[in-house]
Amino acid sequence: MYSTAFLDIPPLTHAQGDVTLPGSKSISNRVLLLAALSSGTTTVHDLLDSDDTAVMLDALATLGCAIERTGKTARITGLGGKLPNPSAKLFLGNAGTAMRPLTAALAVLGGDFELGGVARMHERPIGDLVDALLQLGCDVRYKGQTGYPPLHIGLPSLRLDAPIQVRGDVSSQFLTALLMALPLVAERDIEIEVLGELISRPYIEITLKLLAQFGVTVSRPTGPNAWQRFTIPAGAKLQSPGDVYVEADASSASYFIALGAISTAAEGSNGIKIHGVGASSIQGDIRFIEAASHMGAHIESGPNWLHISRKAWPLKAIDLDCNHIPDAAMTLAVMALYADGTTTLRNIASWRVKETDRLSAMATELRKLGATVVEGADFIQVTPPPTVAAWQAASIHTYDDHRIAMCFSLAAFNPARLPVRIEDPKCVAKTFPDYFEALFSVTQSAEEHIPVICIDGPTASGKGTLAAVVAQKLGYHFLDSGSLYRITGLAATRAQIPLDVANEQAIADLLQSLPIHFEGSHIWLGPEDVSELIRTEEAGMNASRVSAFPMVRAALIDLQRRFRALPGLVADGRDMGTVIFPVAPLKVYLTASAACRAERRYKQLISKGISATLPSLRADLEARDARDANRSVAPLRPAQDAKLLDNSELSVDQSVEIVLNWWQSKQLYTSH
Ligand SMILES: O=C(O)C1=C[C@@H](OP(=O)(O)O)[C@@H](O)[C@H](O)C1
Ligand SMILES: C=C(OP(=O)(O)O)C(=O)O
């Protein structure tokens, strides 16, 4: 997951390949709750691991449910409708699928509970559900504002004789919550009557299908009243089905379906294949494929897969009632940027009460990109930027809304080849923590568009630390090129090849087959973590020797350039800006006085328990500077266009800030 303040997505040109998507949020949280309430043990496979499922799992554990987890599998011992801990304070984040169903289940079971979440959860309505529970005789009180969480739940005096009325026009989750909770107390038939137009209906189908798996068949009329009345039969009992498999999330699939529709594949391959969900999914958001097809996607499907490629281009503008796909419809609003006219998405008033006011947020952010947007009470109308030149590089504010972050990443395919900045990318953790990793695994950018920041400088200037922190702050890859020379020195020594120029061919040959692999700050040579081993003074001297051999340097050039990958690279070394990445947009040449560098190295060694003396360290360091500056190939010197940074008097944080400011000053993002 990218936990950076922002993530800059370079302009993307192509997409192709396979993605396996994480489990459905709606199915995961329903199955977890049903498994906990039912009798018997349930093994849930392919469970989503995200913020929304974490709050549900924590809540169930707090309530006394035994849960064993191994990877994506959870084994849940059902409570059989009895709570061992009938008193608890539950934090439910911003998960509607946890807050609403748990409120109903705990209200009918009774106890002493407090249910709350993040600030936004306390702005998301729950009054219609509470009203229904009060009719039933439950004791539910608002701890803050009437109509909103946090809630206190006490002991009920249940009255199950009259039909329970619930409004369905703000959220379908209120009806879902009642449907899952009422089998706990179904001594007689319990009827639920929906008032107003029921929105987001396909989510009710998910609820009914999963209830059926747990042994409860809800009956309802056929014909026009099919969405008005639901009857939970007397004697209904939640019984574990044993094993449950969670489909991949169809709403998450929408970003990759869109990707297939708006991108072309690089030569020799074809489209995007999504694994884990197919056209016969029980999730309503799968119907996004119909909308995407209308816009121009070519979609094929099998039992558990989808294959998408581009058919019509530009995409065709659509006018669509999106009430049945409220979440995936946000993706259509971004696809509309690539359409041949104005796209209108209707009947989506519920967008206003989700993770943020999504109607207003989408309108604001789409406008930043250059689109013309009309925002209505319950619709949005998007007209793409009129010309390529009208596109703008935008910094997208994400409002702690995972879907805003995910759908706006698709704007990186803009024809103006502008990057897109996604603020607070970690908000995707609500349903898809590794979204951006999945995106980068199937997308490509022209090499010249993948940013590289070079940080070159002499030994002990602190460039490794600076580069690693800058890479981490930007979410970029990190190349510690010096370590490649150190590994070369180590490998040659182990192969008993003397480090002199007569053996440069043999050392260069050795490099062709070295299994080098970087993992954060760790460097692996095959199965061995050599990070510590290559940091000794001796390894440094050996590195300096082999780095003077032209054949060795040539062999390492391609290897180093391959580190330039999405979303960007910070490369630390001695010739990053002069030789390896000569057209990098930012080159920093980091120095510090010899006295200062010797002292830093001294402290470093002493802290590791290695004895050293300052004068000898300083002499070694000056000798190494002289050798590096005078070697015939790629001598150590600043690139002509490098920015010089002397950090003798600066802390690491101060140096990082300077470099990030230099980087920021090169960006074009508008955030108005
Ligand atoms: O029941 C569910 O799993 C959901 C129902 C929908 O909410 P509304 O019914 O509030 O539209 C949807 O937006 C949400 O992401 C998940
Ligand atoms: C509306 C959403 O979430 P929630 O389940 O919290 O309602 C969503 O995931 O888009």
Distance from residue 76's CA to the centre of ligand 2 (Å): 24
Same fold, 25-234 and 478-566: no
Nearest to 108 by CA among 1, 54, 186: 186
Predicted local confidence at residue 431, as pLDDT:
98
When the pLDDT of each residue in the chain is averaged and rounded to a whole number, the result is: 95
So what's the pLDDT on residue 521?
A: 72
- Give residue 388's Cα distance to chain centre: 29
Ligand nearest to the CA of 180: 1
Task: Give the ligand at the shortest distance from the Cα of 174.
Answer: 1
Q: For a pLDDT cut of 70, what percent of the chain falls above it?
A: 99
Span from the CA of 18 to the centroid of ligand 1 (angstroms): 28
Confirm whether the ipTM is greater than 0.90.
yes
Q: Are 111 and 155 in contact (CB under 8 A)?
A: yes
The residue count for the chain: 672
Contact call for residues 272 and 17 (beta carbons, < 8 A) = yes
Nearest residue (by CA) to ligand 1, atom 12, is 327
- The gap between the terminal CA atoms of the chain, to the nearest Å, is 27
Please tell me the predicted confidence (pLDDT) of residue 520.
64
Predicted TM-score (pTM) of this structure: 0.94
On whether the CB atoms of residues 472 and 528 are closer than 8 A, the answer is no
Please choose, from the candidates 19, 30, 84, the residue with its C-alpha nearest in 3D space to the C-alpha of residue 53. 30
Domain 25-234 has CATH 3.65.10.10: yes
Q: Which CATH code fits 450-476+568-672? A: 3.40.50.300
Q: What angle do CA 98, 30, 409 make, to 5 degrees?
A: 70
Work out the average pLDDT over 318-328: 98
Contact assessment for residue 188 and residue 160, using Cβ atoms and an 8 Å cutoff: yes
Q: What is the pLDDT of residues 172-217, one digit of tens each?
A: 999 999 999 999 999 999 999 999 999 999 999 999 999 999 999 9
The yes-or-no answer on residue 327 being catalytic is yes
DSSP state of 122: G
Residue 670 pLDDT greater than 80, yes or no? no
pLDDT at 2 over 90: yes
CB of 331 within 8 A of CB of 407? yes
> Given pLDDT bands bounded at 50, 70 and 90, which one contains residue 559?
confident
Residue 490 pLDDT: 93
Q: How far is CA 618 from the centre of its chain?
A: 46
The least confident of 159-173, 236-250, 569-583, 626-640 is 626-640
DSSP 8-state class, residue 462: S
Write down the pLDDT at residue 188.
94
Lookup result for tokens 């349930």: 42
Q: What is the pLDDT of residue 270?
A: 83
> CATH for 6-22+248-447?
3.65.10.10
Q: What is the pLDDT of residue 516?
A: 82
Nearest CA to ligand 1 atom 3: 26
pLDDT tens digits, 142-151: 999 999 999 9
More confident residue, 62 or 632: 62
Percent of the chain topping pLDDT 90: 86
pLDDT at residue 398 above 70? yes
Burial 224-259 (b: 16+ CB within 10 A, else e): eeebeebbbeeebebbbbeebebbbbbbbbbbbbbb
CA dist 484 and 283 (Å) reads 49
Catalytic residue among 327, 575, 620, 628: 327
Longest dimension (CA), the chain: 95
Closest atom, ligand 2, to C-alpha of 330: 10
- Residue 386: name the closest of 370, 373, 375 by CA: 370
CA of 541 to the centre of ligand 1 (A): 61
pLDDT surpasses 90 at 461: yes
**C-alpha angle 294/27/346, rounded to 5°?**
35
User: From the alpha carbon of 401, which atom of ligand 2 is closest?
Assistant: 10
Give the model's pLDDT for residue 83. Answer: 95
Query: Looking at residue 317, what is its pLDDT?
Result: 98
Q: Where exactly are the structural domains of the chain?
A: 6-22+248-447, 25-234, 450-476+568-672, 478-566
Q: pLDDT for 91-119, tens place per residue?
A: 999 999 999 999 999 999 999 999 999 99
For 35-77, what is each residue's pLDDT tens digit? Answer: 999 999 999 999 999 999 999 999 999 999 999 999 999 999 9
- Which residue in the block uniquely carries the two structure tokens 């695994």? 441
pLDDT digits (tens, 9 = 90+) for 257-290: 999 999 987 766 689 999 999 999 999 999 999 9
Report the C-alpha gap between 261 and 255 in whole angstroms. Answer: 10
What's the 98 CA to ligand 1 centre distance in angstroms?
A: 11
Q: Which CATH superfamily is domain 478-566 in?
A: P-loop containing nucleotide triphosphate hydrolases (3.40.50.300)
The pLDDT of residue 517 is 73
Mean pLDDT check: name the lowest of 171-185, 223-237, 610-624. Answer: 610-624
- What pLDDT, in 10s, does the model give residues 571-592? 999 899 999 999 999 999 999 9
